[in-house]
Structure 1
């Protein structure tokens, strides 16, 4: 799936939900308090950011789309800060003011990019606090392309059914970031974006792909939903639609620094893309790329249109990355439907070196798609001894997934990939080194169904063992 950038400047989105002020106090910590065994933070910098539905609106505006925000705040200083920040970003802000409850505020005390303490200032809103929402949405809905309900379970969306009904009458898609275990409140919405934990709290445990699809399909039928987008952390995200095959997008391979606000970014990119005319699969592909960028930032953060455009330009296809076996089987089926030739190789790949890179580039040249299967940590210990691996499986997989030649990375727990070969049935099995075909593990499995075995060039003076030996020598 190749993705052109949408014309976000043509999108108008209305965000309704729980807005909050995220406050950060930053400072150095060098001593323990004499009053109690706690660190003393010398506050040197303070920072205020709009969170919750406010962060969704800011993400939409940062992409270059038009954003309006409807929410509840208190009659206090925090509300003024939020209003100023949001309006400065070009967001049309409409707040209903609660006379007896504060603006939701979360204060985080930070030192050296680590959160030491969080203080919450809030009281749940009741239906009276959002009594003006239905009238406001009715006035604004004809001018927007998408309605986003950003639910943080603080009470602003007490009458979500009325808002969904107003949008449906106007033919406007409704995208919901849900909370809690009562998803019936979102009946009739176009799309829900729960994470896997939130979904399982509603439908029960989903131990495999089949169970996930079955339970999600039942939920969509019961609630009259057009789609579910399940975000799954390091396993990426899965788009499910009634009567259509699931679309799984692996997580982008990058270091995760902070997942705060990642869900806000996902729904903001989805909404902006749908409002610009993108299909749900295309919008999901963009949202997956955006999520991979924003988790590398600290705290509630946004992603700009140019930032996303650069990332999209670097993509060779949004389906690449780290996958489970079940997800890989789905991806391979789609690739084969496109007539693509699947290449498979395996190894420990403990410390990636020039030999690995050259070998994987050669392997990719044997077909259209390259699958790299790597031994689990326990498997490496059995094969290499207790001092290995140097890098755990998650890091080894992330590095491999970042290489241009590699399409998918999957792990296996056995000492050999023979069971995996039986499941995946690649067109070509490759191995590097001085072997005959019959010396390659799994050759007979691949040959039996008509596949090929290829032995590739062995790179001299390149080995993980040699690198480790040289490090030890230099450290003495």
Structure 2
């Protein structure tokens, strides 16, 4: 596991959006009011929590991320309460105070873990002076920020979010948006936008199948110029659309769901935090997916710490699922290895009769990373390349022998003449080939290099050749 992904000491995330105070009145109910047929709640405990964009900032702070929160509040006591809750957790608050608007407050009356009623105290005002004041504070904070999250709850703070996205783009600061509403054009040019599935279908129409989701998701991403689109689908997991990559679908990791409150806030917080350290959307999404699975198993608005997330990722990365795997099963293992910071090396060949040169080559290849994949031509593929008398050993035999070599973590197969399609599917970090190749002539090299990987040419040990062994044995 790459522990550097969870080291945020020199990073800073800016959160901008609709902040609110979530207030809970807890108490028992033992009688009906004589004034009306309603339950009487005897309040015994009052609890105040940051809500909306403030909960996103709180989630970042609990991860250990230095964070500044910008939002509009009233000039009232609830704004002071909200600021104290956040600053106690380590959040730097840069609130824009309104003399005409109250701090948004949601009061929930609770009894025996059941919500009896919710009372909302809020007013909306999209004033030019408010937008200008907000933009001024954002512009002041962007130079010190590694990313900005726009957390939109449609309460008015982000009524001019397009101008704020342009500010972040001009400052070369990636922007991550948790959207709201039926007009996503206001988020044009953002780095990543994260709607839930209901919000996604509101924009693109009904998506009854995965193929519809993938088609419409990629069209939507291109339409508004986003670097990536992440659609969260509840119990169906999530799907990432990234420029230049095939859609990435991940199943939910939640074993039991007790409360989905704040799960979306957790996803955008963890996603952004991991991205500022890894610069990889797929890594960020995998961590966010694991974090969401953790928090929905807790009652109430839960968060996750860096230590808890590290523990989850450690368990995921230390899989015992090694050896011979199908390409599809191998893809999942590669994702787990890469998201944990392990470098995956890929090589391929017929490996009909193994000799000491092969073993030395495998050891060299493994030394270039943490995990080594060896992809083997199927019998039909070998015949096309080597002639009707080959292979000497069938595919199962060849893979079984390779599986026993200590340097090799995974063995898989491909039926085509070259492993081009397999390499593009698996996207290894390092592509290795032995012999007299140049990088330009190695199959799959362009794909690996395009995605930030490396291509290496290794020299085989002299004096060993499968063909000469076969000729010497008169096979």
Question: TM-score w.r.t. structure 2 length?
Answer: 0.66
Structure 2 partner of 1:41: 41
State which drifts further: 136-145 or 18-27.
Answer: 136-145
User: 1:3, 1:282 within 8 Å by CA — same for their partners in 2?
Assistant: no
After the TM superposition, which residues 280-299 of structure 1 pair with which residues of structure 2 at under 5 Å, given as runs? Answer: 280-299=281-300
Note the C-alpha offset of 1:133. Answer: 1.8
Aligned length: 332
Give the whole-Å Cα distance in 2 for the aligned partners of 1:334 and 1:3.
19
After the TM superposition, which residues 3-152 of structure 1 pair with which residues of structure 2 at under 5 Å, given as runs? Answer: 4=3, 5-128=5-128, 129-152=130-153
Give the whole-Å Cα distance in 1 for the aligned partners of 2:150 and 2:56.
10
Structure 1 partner of 2:338: none
Give RMSD over aligned pairs: 2.4
Cα distance, 1:336–1:177 mapped onto 2, change above 3 Å: closer
Note the C-alpha offset of 1:39. Answer: 2.1
Give the whole-Å Cα distance in 1 for the aligned partners of 2:243 and 2:83.
40
Render the CA deviation track for 1:11-30: whole Å, top value 9, x for unaligned.
Answer: 20000000000001111222
Residue 132 of structure 1 aligns to a residue whose secondary structure is helix
User: 2:254, 2:292 within 8 Å by CA — same for their partners in 1?
Assistant: no
User: 1:3, 1:286 within 8 Å by CA — same for their partners in 2?
Assistant: no
Give the whole-Å Cα distance in 1 for the aligned partners of 2:304 and 2:255.
15
Give the whole-Å Cα distance in 1 for the aligned partners of 2:126 and 2:288.
33
Give the whole-Å Cα distance in 1 for the aligned partners of 2:332 and 2:29.
53
Structure 1 partner of 2:441: none
Give the whole-Å Cα distance in 2 for the aligned partners of 1:6 and 1:162.
31
Note the C-alpha offset of 1:290. Answer: 0.8
User: 1:260, 1:300 within 8 Å by CA — same for their partners in 2?
Assistant: yes
Render the CA deviation track for 1:53-102: whole Å, top value 9, x for unaligned.
Answer: 10111111110011001100011111010111112222111111111111
Cα distance, 1:64–1:42 mapped onto 2, change above 3 Å: same
User: 1:127, 1:158 within 8 Å by CA — same for their partners in 2?
Assistant: no
Structure 2 residue aligned with 1:334, among 331, 335, 346?
A: 331
Residue 276 of structure 1 aligns to a residue whose secondary structure is helix
Render the CA deviation track for 1:261-282: whole Å, top value 9, x for unaligned.
Answer: 1111111111111112341100
Larger radius of gyration: 2
Give the whole-Å Cα distance in 2 for the aligned partners of 1:330 and 1:296.
32
Residue 291 of structure 2 aligns to a residue whose secondary structure is helix
Give the whole-Å Cα distance in 1 for the aligned partners of 2:277 and 2:170.
20
Give the whole-Å Cα distance in 1 for the aligned partners of 2:65 and 2:19.
19
Runs of 5+ in structure 2 lacking a partner? 335-372, 377-402, 404-475
Render the CA deviation track for 1:286-332: whole Å, top value 9, x for unaligned.
Answer: 111111111122332321112212222222489x9xxxxxxxx9965
Cα distance, 1:3–1:240 mapped onto 2, change above 3 Å: farther
User: 1:20, 1:53 within 8 Å by CA — same for their partners in 2?
Assistant: yes
Structure 2 partner of 1:453: none
Render the CA deviation track for 1:153-197: whole Å, top value 9, x for unaligned.
Answer: 000011111111111112111000000010001000000010000
Give the whole-Å Cα distance in 2 for the aligned partners of 1:191 and 1:166.
15
Structure 1 partner of 2:415: none
Give the whole-Å Cα distance in 2 for the aligned partners of 1:57 and 1:13.
9
After the TM superposition, which residues 43-442 of structure 1 pair with which residues of structure 2 at under 5 Å, given as runs? Answer: 43-128=43-128, 129-316=130-317, 332=329, 334=331
Question: TM-score w.r.t. structure 1 length?
Answer: 0.66
Note the C-alpha offset of 1:242. Answer: 3.0
Render the CA deviation track for 1:232-278: whole Å, top value 9, x for unaligned.
Answer: 11111111113311111111132212111111111111111111234
Cα distance, 1:305–1:336 mapped onto 2, change above 3 Å: closer
Cα distance, 1:189–1:292 mapped onto 2, change above 3 Å: same
Residue 278 of structure 2 aligns to a residue whose secondary structure is coil
